[in-house]
Chain A
Amino acid sequence: MPELYLRLLNRILTPVLLLLALYLLFRGHNLPGGGFIAGLMAAAAFQLQILSRGHRSVRSTVGPYLHSGIGLGLAVAICAGFVGLLEGTFFKGIWFSLHLPFLGDLKLGTPVIFDLGVFLVVASVTTSYLLGLSRVSDTASLRLDETVSRIRYDSAGSNPAEASVEPGPRAES
C-alpha cells in the first residue's frame, strides 16, 4: 500500500501538474514549451497517480482511452495541416485572434492545434508505456517474492525450458 504522504501529495500535485502542462502547451509557440513537453508533464501526473493509487486502478480508469488518445492526437495534428491548404500550402500556419472578456486577446492558430495533437499523442503514448512498465515491475517483484520464499530458481529468467526455444536457422535443414 502506498505511503500516506504520497497519497496526500497526489491530491495536491496532480492538478498542479495538469495545469502546468496546459500552461506549457499554450505558451509553447514562441517560448520554451509546446506539445511534447506538455505531454511529458501530463504523463508525469499520471505516473504520480500510478505510484499513489497502484497501476490497476489507473489502468481501469484511463487505460481504455489511451489508444483513442493516440489516434485522436494524430488525426488532430494532420487535420491542422489540412487547414493550411486554405492558404495554398500544406501545414501553412493560419492565425486568428480571439477576444476574451477579461484576459485580453488570445492568439490562436493551426500551430496551436497541431501542438494539441502532439500533446495528446505524447501524453497517451507515455502513459501507456508507464502502465506497461509498472505492470512489468509488479510481476518482477512478485517473482522476487517467490524466489525469496522458496529457493528453487536462481533468478526469474534462468528457467532452462525458456532458454532454448528456437534452434538456429540451419538446425532444421
Chain B
Amino acid sequence: MAVSANLLAVPVAAPLLAAAFILLFARWGGRRRIRQQIALTSLALCLNLAAAAILFQATAGRGERFVLQLGDWSAPFGITFYGDGLSATLLLLTAIVALAVYPFAVATIDYHRARMGFHPLYLFLLMGVNGAFLSGDLFNLYVFFEVLLMASFVLLTIGAQPAQTNSGIRYVVLNLLASTIFLVAAGVAYGTLGTLNMAQIAERLPVASPAVQTVFAGLLLVSFGSKAPSLPLFFWLPSSYHTPPPAVTALFGGLLTKVGIYTLFRSFTLFFPELLVSWQPVLLTISGATMLVGALGALAQPGIRRVLSFHIISHVGFMLMGLAVAQSGNRLAVGFGLGAAVIYLCHHMIIKTALIMAGGAVELHMGSDRLVSIGGLVTRQPLLAFLFFMSAISLAGVPPFSGFVSKLSLLQITLDTRHWVVSGVSLFASLLTMINMMRLWRESFWGEYNRPSRVPVRILQSRIRQRLMLTPVAVLVLLSLALGIWGGPAITLSMRVAQQALDRQAYIEAVSPSSRISTADADLHLISSGTYLLVSPVAKSGTAAHAPPISRGSVR
C-alpha cells in the first residue's frame, strides 16, 4: 500500500487539533472536564504514534522519502515538510516517549496544574518537536523551535514555585540567545544564497564562497550545539531540569535536547558534509569534552535529577562523536558512525526517559531527591528498585540492553578510524556513568529506610497511580532490552537511515523534482560560469529566488 505524503501532516496537525479542542471547552472547568482532556490528549498521542509507525515502516523499512508541499505550492515558495528515515526514526521515538510519559504525568500532575493547561501544553510541545523533525525549511524550523520553546517555558514554570521561576529565567534567556544565533544564521543564508529552503541551500552552498560556508556552519554549530547541549553552552540544562514536576523533566529529557541533535545531524549531513572531514578535530574535541564534563559533573551532584541531567550532556557527547566520524567509513560501511549515533539516540531517548521517570517516582515517594538524606527504598518498593536498576545498567551499557549495542558500535567506528583519544575518553565516560548509576541506586535504595519529608506519601500508595507510574517505565525498559537483543536488525535499519540521510542528492531531487540533473560535462561548465553569479550582488537582490540555474551534479 502506498503511503500518502499527507501523512506527514498528522504528527503536527493531530496534537494541534486536540489542543484546540481542549482550549475550546476549557472554560467549563472541573475534574470531569480534566478527565475528558486526558482522553482527548491520549487519543492524539495514539494517532501520532500510529502515523509515526507507518512513516517509519515506509522510510526506514522500504527506503522511501516523503515530501509534502503544503497547499501544492512548490518548494521555495510554500511550506515544505520532508520525511526520510532520520526524521521518521525521531518521530517514532518521540511518539513512544510522549505516550510513555503521559500516564506518569496523569498520575503525578495535580489538579491545580492541570487547570492551568498542562494537557494542551503537552500537545503543543509535541507539535513543536514533530514539526522541527519534519521541516524542510530553515525558517519553519525556527518557527517550530519557538513553538516548542514557548510550550517548554510554560511547562517549566507551571505551578510557579520560586525555584521554578528562577530556573525558568536562565532557561529562557539562554535558549532565546541560541534562537537568536540561529536566526542570524538563517539571515546569512538568505542574504548570501537567496533561499531558506534546505534543499536549495544544500544545492547552492557548495558554490558559495568558503567564508560564507564557514560562517554559516559556525553559527549553526553554536546555536544547535547550545540547544543540544554540547560543551561550551550547556549551562541552561543542569540549572533548570531539576525544578519542574518529574513528569515534565522526563518529557524534556526525552525530547527537547534531541531536537538540537537532530538539527545538527541534518544540517551537517545535508549542507556541509565536507566540513565533517575538515572540522573533524573540532567536533571530536567538543564531543570528548562534553562526554567528560557531563560525566564528571554528574559525580559532584547531590540529587537524582541533577545527576541525570548532567548525564544527558554526557550522552550528547557520544552522539556528536558519531556525527564527527559520519563521513569516514570503516570496513563495514561509510556512514557507520552516523548509524551508530542514530541507534545511540534511540537508546538514549528510551532509557533516559525511563530513568528520569523512575527517579521521579523515588523523589515523589521520598519527598526529596537529595541523595544524602534518602535511602532504603528497596524494601518498600521492590518493583521500582528493580526497574531503576535495569534502566541504570542499560544507561551504563551492560550487555543485554541497548546501551551495549550502541556504545559498542560507536567504539568500533572510532577505533577503526584510529581516533584513539576520543574512544578512550568515551570508555572512561562510560565507566563514570556506571559509577554514577551505582551511586544513585545505592544511595536511594540500599541502607536504612530514611524518608526526610514529614508529608505523608499519597502518590505511591494509591495502587492505580503506582501502576500508571511504573508501567511506562517497565515498557521502556523492555523496549531497551528488545533493542539490545535484536541489535543486528536494529543496526541494519539504522545504517539504512544513515545512508539515506547522507544522500544529499536524493534529498534535493525529492524536494524539487522539477529540476533536471545535468550531466557531468555541463556541470563543470556551469560551475565555472555560474560561480561569480552566485556570489555577485545580483544574486543577493530581491530576484534571488530566480537565481541562475545551478548545476545539481556539483553536489556530491
Contact = CB atoms under 8 A, between A and B. Distances in A.
Interface of A: 64-65, 67-68, 70-75, 78-79, 81-82, 84-85, 88-93, 165-166, 169, 172-173
A173 B368 CA distance: 13
B280 interface: no
22 contacts: A68-B26, A70-B23, A71-B19, A71-B21, A71-B24, A71-B26, A73-B20, A74-B16, A75-B20, A75-B21, A78-B13, A78-B20, A79-B17, A88-B72, A89-B69, A89-B71, A90-B70, A91-B71, A92-B72, A93-B71, A166-B165, A169-B306
Contacts of A64: 27
Given A64-B27, A71-B25, A71-B26, A169 B239 contact: yes
Nearest to B124: A74
B23 A74 contact: yes
B370 interface: yes
Given A90-B9, A173-B302, A84 B23 contact: no
Contacts of A70: 20, 23
Given A84-B71, A89-B71, A90-B6, A71 B162 contact: no
A36 B95 CA distance: 32
B16 A78 contact: yes
Centre residue among A64, A81, A91, A92 by max chain B CB count within 10 A: A91
A78 B17 contact: yes
B417 interface: no
A65 B27 CA distance: 7
Contacts of A91: 9, 70-71, 79
A82 B163 CA distance: 43
B71 A74 contact: no
6 A-B pairs with least C-beta separation: A71-B23, A71-B24, A74-B20, A75-B20, A165-B162, A173-B302
Contact of A68 (B27, B238, B306): B27
Contacts of B27: 64-65, 67-68
B118 to A, nearest CB: 14
A74 B68 contact: no
Interface residues of B, number: 29
A171 to B, nearest CB: 11
Contacts of A81: 9, 13, 70
B541 interface: no
Contact of A166 (B24, B71, B72, B166): B166
A12 B71 CA distance: 41
Given A85-B6, A92-B72, A172-B370, A72 B17 contact: no
A54 B199 CA distance: 53
Contacts of B370: 172-173
B133 to A, nearest CB: 17
Given A74-B17, A78-B20, 11 more contacts: A68-B25, A78-B13, A78-B16, A78-B17, A79-B17, A90-B68, A90-B70, A92-B72, A165-B162, A169-B239, A173-B302
B251 interface: no
Interface in B149-167: 162-163, 165-166
Nearest to B162: A165
Nearest to B17: A78
Main secondary structure of the interface of B (DSSP, over half): helix
A165 B6 CA distance: 50
Interface of B: 6, 9, 13, 16-17, 19-27, 68-72, 79, 162-163, 165-166, 238-239, 302, 306, 370
A172 B369 CA distance: 12
Which of A70, A90, A91, A172 lies at the interface centre, i.e. has the most chain B CB atoms within 10 A of its CB? Answer: A90
A68 B16 CA distance: 14
Given A75-B17, A84-B71, A165-B162, A89 B6 contact: yes
Contacts of B17: 74-75, 78-79
A70 B162 CA distance: 29
Contacts of B239: 169
A92 B4 CA distance: 15
B161 to A, nearest CB: 9
Contacts of A90: 6, 9, 13, 68, 70-71
B346 to A, nearest CB: 28
A172 B302 contact: yes
Contacts of A65: 27
B492 to A, nearest CB: 32
Contacts of B24: 67-68, 71-72, 75
A89 B72 CA distance: 7
Contacts of A92: 71-72
A79 B16 CA distance: 11
Nearest to A82: B13
A93 B73 CA distance: 10
B71 A67 contact: no
Contacts of A73: 20
B34 to A, nearest CB: 14
Contacts of A67: 23-24, 26-27
A123 B23 CA distance: 15
A65 B25 CA distance: 10
Contacts of A173: 302, 370
A166 B163 contact: yes
A3 B341 CA distance: 67
